Amino acid sequence: MAKFKRKILEVEAVAATNAFEVETPNGPVPVNRGDMVVTDVKGELYPCRLDIFLKTYEAIDDEGQQVIDLAVKVAHPAIVEAIKDGRIMEGVFMTIPAKG
């Protein structure tokens, strides 16, 4: 099978401190507390689970690192533990309700 590498690009993102829905070109998508909401190059919003975000992107300045730190602080404890342990979580946490 052919392999591909992501092009290098910068995106803007914010940490979700509460659960909500974001409108995407494919319709509304739930955002869980601790997810990152990414603004792509077209200006469209997409939620991204924190573990996937951290495998795909890195902070390029202090503000970016502060946003990641906030997401880790408010994320579901199971996601934080899996990130610390380095486990891959394919599709496991998509339906976890937001913490209190």
Give the count of alpha carbons within 13 A of 27, CB side only.
Answer: 0
Strand bridging mode 20-24 / 27-31: antiparallel
What whole-number distance in Å separates Cα of residue 44 and Cα of residue 22?
Answer: 10
pLDDT at 46: 93
Say yes or no to pLDDT of 2 above 90: no
Name the band, by pLDDT with cuts 50, 70 and 90, for residue 89. very low
Mean of per-residue pLDDT scores for the chain: 80
Say yes or no to pLDDT of 73 above 50: yes
Say yes or no to pLDDT of 6 above 60: yes
CB atoms within 10 A of CB 45: 17
What whole-number distance in Å separates Cα of residue 96 and Cα of residue 1?
Answer: 33
Say yes or no to pLDDT of 22 above 50: yes
